Amino acid sequence: MEEELLIRIGELQDLDVLVNFNQAMADETEGRKLTLEIVTAGVKTLLENPNLGFYLLAEKNGEVAGTLMVTTEWSDWHNGLYWWIQSVYIRPEFRRQGVYHQLYNFVKDKAKQEQDELKIWGFRLYVESQNMVAQKTYESLGMKETSYKIYEEKL
């Protein structure tokens, strides 16, 4: 019998799968090869410092089907936090089966549970401008495109 999808918070024991999923996501979406040592250190730092954010893992039949990371941004305009959804990766064989939908619902439920303590205002994410499939998925879950563009300067 097929098991239900289990959503859980990432732990240090998940380091390797999170690193692998980050590398796969960067390659598939941007054609970028992430440096193993750097991405491993980055994932490990977040796992060891929950004040920076958290990872979620979706498991089905004992396999990790998908992951995402949540980090925070303080909004002085709202006196609250935005939760940024990042590093979303669903393994190809689990796509279009509602895995991201369940991960996103878990994020929303967790935010509601922590609302009084953390003052969570909303959710944000960025997506590659050409990734129409992901954009349609986010829109189908109630997210809306904003008028903001992202700029960056690397040091």
Segments forming the whole domain that contains residue 29: 6-140
Global pTM value: 0.90
Phi-psi region of 31 (alpha: psi -120 to 50; beta: other; left: phi over 0): left
Q: Name the band, by pLDDT with cuts 50, 70 and 90, for residue 130.
A: confident
Q: Is residue 146 part of a domain?
A: no
Q: Is residue 150 part of a domain?
A: no
pLDDT digits (tens, 9 = 90+) for 47-90: 999 999 999 999 999 899 999 999 999 999 999 999 999 999 99
At 3 the pLDDT is 63
Q: Is residue 153 part of a domain?
A: no
Q: What residues pair up with 22 in beta bridges, in sequence order?
A: none
Q: Is residue 145 part of a domain?
A: no
Number of domains in the chain: 1
Distance separating the N- and C-terminal Cα atoms of the chain:
51
The CATH number of residue 95's host domain is 3.40.630.30
Mean pLDDT computed over 21-43:
94
Q: Is residue 154 part of a domain?
A: no
